[in-house]
Structure 1
Amino acid sequence: MLDIDRTKLEALLKYSEPLYGEEKSYSLHELAKIWNTDIDTAKTILRKLRREGFIRRTRSGRYKLSFAGKVLIAIYKRVKR
């Protein structure tokens, strides 16, 4: 995990951050709306977030932040201050 450069990491954090603090899961359409993108772009973002471990797929087929994603965002928010 996280074998990516800083620019890519910041982009992944940018897309993950709006989901931080929420204990709910999201459909692909909901994520596209949150990210203000079309469905194809949302699929690409989602695929990258899943590959790097930021988001996981639930049994019901929805998506939510993984524990690792929550930890990384919390660290990012502290460093960003």
Structure 2
Amino acid sequence: MSTSSASLALTMKDAAELVGVDYRTIKLGIENGTIPTVQLGPAPDDPPRPAIACIRRRRLTSLRRARRGRDRRAFT
């Protein structure tokens, strides 16, 4: 079970032991929405989609500028 006896949070493994089912049963219940969950701790590492688009645009712009600069230097 959890490391703290006062903890209200359960891991999937803890929940499976408590209910007396396999870990995979708990995982499937979470995936199909029959078992509600709350994520604790830091947010996922995936940045929001608008941020990804902005980063890609900036990279492309800087790459284009770098290529133009190299081309000009080659001909002077």
Normalized per residue, which structure has more strand? Answer: 1
What TM-score does the superposition give when structure 2 sets the normalisation length? Answer: 0.36
What TM-score does the superposition give when structure 1 sets the normalisation length? Answer: 0.35
